[in-house]
Amino acid sequence: MCGIVGYIGSREVTPLLLSGLKKLEYRGYDSAGIAVIENKRVSIVKTAGKLLNLERKLEEYSPTGHVGIGHTRWATHGRPSNVNSHPHNGCSNDFAVVHNGIIENYLELKEWLVDKKGHDFASETDTEVIAHLVEEFYDGDLVQAVRETLKMVQGSYAVGIISLKEPDILIAARKDSPLVIGLGKGENFIASDIPAILNHTRDVYMVEDGEVVLLTKEKVVILDQDNKEVNRDVYHVDWDIEAAEKGGYEYFMLKEICEQPEAFKKTLSGRIQQGKVKLDELNFTREQIKQWEKVFIVACGTAYHSGLIGKPLIEEYLGIPVEVDIASEFRYRNPLVNNKTLAVFISQSGETADTLAALREAKRKGATTLAITNVVGSSISRVADYTFYLWAGPEIAVASTKAYTTMLIAQYLLCVYMAQVKGVMPEEKGREILTALQELPEKAKKILDQKELYLDIAKSIKEARSLFFIGRGYDYNIAQEGALKLKEISYIHAEAYAAGELKHGTLALITEKSPVIAVATQKSTYEKTLSNIKEVTARDAFVIGVAEEGDQEILKWVNKAIYIPKIENTVSPVLAVIPLQLLAYYTAVVRGCNVDQPRNLAKSVTVE
């Protein structure tokens, strides 16, 4: 859950490293630093805190050179501090290392290096063992020293390594943590994510697990686990740098909420043709789908909430039982996965460590695996048998919005597609759902045109210490995502409950100081949900209702009403969640919170 950037070329490296790290701030971090090969030494400048602290330190001393690495750290081993910040070096200060991931056997390696080899350690981190191991194994060949090091370590890593011993090269390697190589003319880059280098190049290599990369300013050599050179296709980035910047919005989150109509169009693009879903990337056969006796949907956080919508869709329209699992729990309950199972793994970044580990477990047990992800070339997309890309564009804010709604659209498309191939969905129902999906962009714009409404409501709940979301069926699933959004960026305690469960305990917490957000868009459960709204109204709760336009009845029982445009009821969750996103956003703003970087959270959770 941190960022790497590296450069080798002819330009002054320190400003390049600093600008690259700024592009990676969205990943979450608690310290930052750079290392530069400068004359006859490796100069390291690092500090706890935000990049502003590093900039101030660089005002006192800014190393000059043309080869360097930089890092933003999210603490895992050792508290955030100057000494625990990356980069790290060995005893001789001839090597510098930045690392994302976790070295699981670092204590064992550290003990061996200290007791048997006489090394002295400066930090509490697992990463420092990499620097010492490279130093220990170095015998005139930095690539070989890195290989020997990586044979010793267990866990996940993306690393960037420079050395005074060989000052004209930069080494990178990865296993289970993201890493890309940027290709320039007379210069090359490494980074955790494309935005860090997009100002300088649009041509990149995606590094695969187990590969070691040798960079000079003139060339890039990718070596596989057998030390053989790999020929890799260049991936050309075709989205603009503005897509990774705020574009006039105060926060990335608001920008990304407002980008949803366009994101919907991209996700749908080319996938609905002549009243049918066309998914060339899957190309399932009827025999394949018929053999699946069970479906697992596995994900974390917001992606998990999207899977809760996918479950009833698949069960209703394909008649296949579905389990939705939190990825971090999946492997530890010995799930009944076999070759008659379809396992779907959802991750915006495609690098979520728990989801990736669950995916590998499902493959090991013989399941057919499908990844739903937003990042082309991500780890999950490469491991899965099939991949459904969201095409939603870069998502920078920690709190996911457009990735969530496009995950929903992906699951509607997947469900209709499989039902069509299997021959179990009535044509009329399929057309209704697909028509509604195509209506989403314009109808979402109508919601976004009323942003001022949410600012007003946010002011009425900003002082609440605890807030409840309720709903039934799809509305309950949407309520769960709404509660997550509110708590993660506004820091108000928020929980979602199935509305019918209120009387089984939660009503004890309802008072005039406990606002309730009631989602009531599903026709099949509307009357029951309205009855539950009356229950909390009777306890003097301040109630905000989310309903379909034209619903006058709900006005009798709520303090504030938010309306979404009418749409085919199965698809309404995509629209119903947008008001909850906006409400969370404006509540965080009026409370003075840092919306894009909520405390203690990171965008891409790349450790288990």
> How wide is the angle at C-alpha 456 spanned by C-alphas 451 and 460, nearest 5°?
140
Residue 334: CB atoms within 10 Å: 9
Contact assessment for residue 103 and residue 154, using Cβ atoms and an 8 Å cutoff: yes
Contact assessment for residue 308 and residue 324, using Cβ atoms and an 8 Å cutoff: yes
| Measured distance CA(345)–CA(352) in Å, rounded | 10
The residues assigned a catalytic role are 2, 603
Contact assessment for residue 455 and residue 554, using Cβ atoms and an 8 Å cutoff: no
Query: What is the SS3 assignment for 149?
Result: helix
Q: Report CA-CA distances (Å) from 606 to 347, 366, 552.
A: 11, 25, 47
Which residues are CB-neighbours of 374 under 8 A, at least 6 positions away?
348, 349, 350, 389, 390, 391, 392, 395, 403, 406
What's the per-residue H, E or C state across 257-305? HHCHHHHHHHHHCCCEECCEECCCCCCCCHHHHHHCCEEEEEECHHHHH
Contact assessment for residue 257 and residue 581, using Cβ atoms and an 8 Å cutoff: yes
Q: Which two structure tokens, joined as six digits, stand for 470?
A: 């309720």
Peptide bond between residue 515 and the one before it cis (omega within 30 degrees of 0): no
Q: Report CA-CA distances (Å) from 411 to 345, 370, 388, 578.
A: 11, 11, 10, 17
Nearest by Cα to 32 from 43, 42, 17: 17
Which residues are CB-neighbours of 54 under 8 A, at least 6 positions away?
18, 21, 32, 33, 34, 45, 46, 47
Q: Which two structure tokens, joined as six digits, stand for 492?
A: 């108000």
Nearest by Cα to 572 from 595, 550, 553, 546: 546
Burial of 149-173, coded b for 16+ CB within 10 Å and e otherwise, reads bbebbebbbbbbbbbbbbbebbbbb
Query: What is the SS3 assignment for 550?
Result: coil
Residue 477: CB atoms within 10 Å: 27
Torsion of CA 344, 345, 348, 354, to 10 degrees: 170
Contact assessment for residue 35 and residue 62, using Cβ atoms and an 8 Å cutoff: no
Torsion of CA 542, 547, 553, 558, to 10 degrees: 0
| Measured distance CA(172)–CA(179) in Å, rounded | 8
Amino acid letter, 293? E
Site of tokens 């965080």: 588
Burial zone of 289 (CB within 10 Å; 0-12 exposed, 13-18 middle, 19+ buried): buried
**Total residues belonging to the chain:** 608
